[in-house]
Chains A and B, each alone.
Chain A
Amino acid sequence: MEKLLINNTGYEVKEAHIIRTTKMTEQDKLFEVALQYGEILDFEPGQFVEVSLLGVGEAPISICSSPTRRDSFELCVRAVGRMTNALHRLKAGTEIGIRGPFGVGFPVTQMVGHDILMVAGGIGIAPLRSLINYVMENRRDFGRVHILLGCRDPRLMLFGNEIQTWQKRLDIGFNCTVDRADPDWKGNVGLVTALIPGVDIDPENTFAVIVGPPVMYRFVIKELLAKGIAENRIVLSLERHMKCGLGKCGHCQLHDIYCCQDGPVFFYDRIKNMKGAI
């Protein structure tokens, strides 16, 4: 066997380093990351990267910051497996590897001039935050903007400080609910679906963007359709285990679609008849 040294195979990582880590909940940590040599990560809201730790492996993580912030980006990581637990142990200054960005992001250019209803459940707020911040920073490009947020209980709420500022903004509508309240919780209790009928939007002119656990999609989509939003205006992000990110390894395959390359963001009308999609 002869060993050839090659370049640009798609598997080499960009060197990056952690600028800051912020503990968000018992399980979730926010990593601010910058590429070496001042390189800018050129991405769209809704895209993901493969985070690499040599000797441990890779994990696909959604970018949760807006591309309008150019000198660094943020990743919200829940410690669930070997790789993400290893990431949680890293401190600011540590070098990590980044591959990507991969996939198709939210259709931000198509959404220009339209109203936007964004619905997030649980950790779905992480990828959606990229779009939320993007929309806030380009606020005059869009019509009315609503954000609906649901999570299991207040202790699991991510981006709590930012949520407070969103609540105060006059240029967006914001509502938040938890499945189970604790004594300090003063907001809504119940599922996020219950918030949809009350949102004042013009369905003809609205894009709805949903990110959450698979089980949430069916119920939220039902409400959105009942509200009169067209199937080709409902946008969702499908979580799958993207291993290679290059449309080959098969882990994220959904019928003839590779979520890592053809998604993770899809219009509902494209995937609605694919069994197992949501």
Chain B
Amino acid sequence: MEYVTLQKHLFNDFVESLASRTKVVAPVSKGNNQFSFQEVSRGEQITLNYIPTILPPKKYFMPEYEVLVEYDASQGQKMQPVVEVENLVLFGVHTCDLAGIQCLDVVFGDRPKDLNYLIRKGYVTVIGLECNDYCDDYASCGLMGNFLPRGGYDLFFTDLGEYFMVNVATQRGGNMVEASSFWKEATPENFREFLFLREGKQKIFQPEVPIDRHIIPQMFKEGFEAKVWEEIGNRCLSCANCTNVCPTCYCFDVKDVPNLDFNTGKRIRVWDSCQNEPFAKIASGESFRAQRSDRKRHRFNRKFSYPVRRYNRFFCTGCGRCSRTCMAKIDLKETIAQLALEVGYIKQ
């Protein structure tokens, strides 16, 4: 039972039945073409045709504030590591964000392993949702090859008009299907429509910058001193919006939050950003990326070059959030194109 179908008119019942058993979060419209993953209890609260949410589903895997340790300093340095978890069904995750979660899985699963992340991850069930067409012009999932699913989900929904084609990818996904009677086995006709959509997508989604992504790390190496970094550095406001909305930015700060008794408290980690000037500063006052251009170049290299060497994968999913949110209108696709032009990978 790898593929089943869910009729659209049963979608609401499906969501209600899920929500009666566990917390369900899904894309919800916030107005002004903005969307957010929020808790839902009914199907009609969910926007199926949404552009990437303001924050990626990263927030459920690596919360902005996360308690690592609870301490009591009244008797020496006593502490208890903790992890806060919650059973959660994450519905409607686009393929770009599935790729983003996989990037985080790789980082936090790499030795030394991050138990807080790995334990929490086990509490989240992921239901993906296919993009039948581009969300908007900011996306670069064609270039990054993330417009088709490449794993990272328990169930995966494809909207085929009257019904969803549902890929059951894990035992956990299978259990969800078996727990209710909404599902039908997929027919050859369903598969025909499904493959027709997939083939059509191959034509719709093309590299948004006319280069082969496999040359990108080399291009970044050659373009380390390219003018484009200076150019976007001059425009960058160092606001860190791009890192906050990025599905694969995982940098953090570790800090203590004492309770009012000043003896007990929590050691937490909070999202941090390499775009902030003090990020790479050391005690002597020296800052290793003092210029905005240094920091922009660092961020781009951390998406397209360094992780390819370290983890053998790109850390840009092509979701387009950084470009959508940038107050200085620094556009990822334009930046890559400009770099490719400067280094000679595309001709004017």
Contact = CB atoms under 8 A, between A and B. Distances in A.
A and B co-occur in one complex: yes
Interface of A: 1-13, 15-16, 52-59, 78, 80-81, 84, 95-97, 213-214, 239-241, 243-244, 246-251, 253-256, 261, 275-276
Interface in B105-130: 107-108, 110, 112, 114-116, 119
A256 B114 contact: no
A80 B283 contact: yes
6 contacts: A52-B77, A54-B72, A243-B254, A251-B251, A251-B253, A261-B112
Contact of A248 (B71, B252, B284): B252
A3 B83 CA distance: 6
Contact of A251 (B68, B279, B302): B279
A6 B119 contact: yes
B265 A54 contact: yes
B256 interface: yes
B79 A9 contact: no
A256 B310 contact: yes
A59 B80 CA distance: 20
Contacts of A58: 254
A5 B115 CA distance: 11
User: How many B residues touch the partner, as a band?
Assistant: 35 or more
B267 interface: yes
B81 A241 contact: no
Contacts of A3: 82-84
Interface in B229-282: 250-256, 258, 262-263, 265, 267, 269, 272, 274, 279-282
B281 A5 contact: no
B306 interface: yes
A11 B77 contact: no
Contacts of B324: none
B73 A55 contact: yes
Given A11-B81, A12-B69, A243-B253, A275 B283 contact: no
Interface of B: 68-69, 71-73, 76-86, 107-108, 110, 112, 114-116, 119, 224, 250-256, 258, 262-263, 265, 267, 269, 272, 274, 279-284, 286, 288-289, 294, 298, 301-302, 305-307, 309-310
A6 B73 contact: no
Residue from the set A59, A81, A240 with the largest chain B CB neighbour count within 10 Å:
A240
A54 B77 contact: yes
Nearest to B253: A243
B265 A55 contact: yes
Classify the interface of chain B: helix, strand, loop or mixed. Answer: mixed
B85 A9 contact: no
Given A246-B114, A251-B279, A275-B224, A5 B86 contact: no
Given A4-B83, A5-B80, A5-B82, A276 B265 contact: no
Contacts of B112: 10, 246-247, 261
Contacts of A243: 252-254
Given A2-B86, A55-B265, A56-B256, A250 B283 contact: no
A54 B283 contact: no
A9 B116 contact: yes
A10 B114 contact: yes
Nearest to A255: B306
Contact of B115 (A9, A97, A276): A9
A244 B254 contact: yes
Nearest to B285: A80
Smallest CB-CB A-B distances: 10 pairs: A250-B251, A256-B306, A54-B73, A95-B76, A97-B77, A9-B81, A55-B258, A54-B71, A256-B309, A9-B115
A213 B285 CA distance: 11
Nearest to A275: B224
A255 B282 contact: no
B256 A57 contact: yes
Contact of B288 (A5, A81, A276): A276
A37 B25 CA distance: 48
Contacts of B255: 57
A1 B289 contact: no
B346 to A, nearest CB: 25
B293 to A, nearest CB: 12
A9 B289 CA distance: 30
A276 B288 CA distance: 6
A159 B84 CA distance: 46
Contacts of B286: 213-214
A20 B19 CA distance: 59
Contact of A249 (B84, B251, B281, B282): B251
B282 A239 contact: yes
Contact of B254 (A2, A55, A95, A249): A249
Given A57-B255, A246-B114, A248-B252, A11 B310 contact: no
Nearest to B73: A54
A22 to B, nearest CB: 20
Given A4-B85, A54-B71, A249 B119 contact: no
B250 A55 contact: no
B82 A6 contact: yes
A176 B289 CA distance: 32
B254 A248 contact: no
Given A241-B280, A256-B309, A249 B272 contact: yes
Contacts of B294: 276
A256 B71 CA distance: 34
Given A55-B263, A249-B251, 11 more contacts: A2-B84, A6-B82, A6-B116, A10-B114, A12-B81, A13-B77, A55-B71, A59-B283, A214-B288, A249-B252, A253-B280
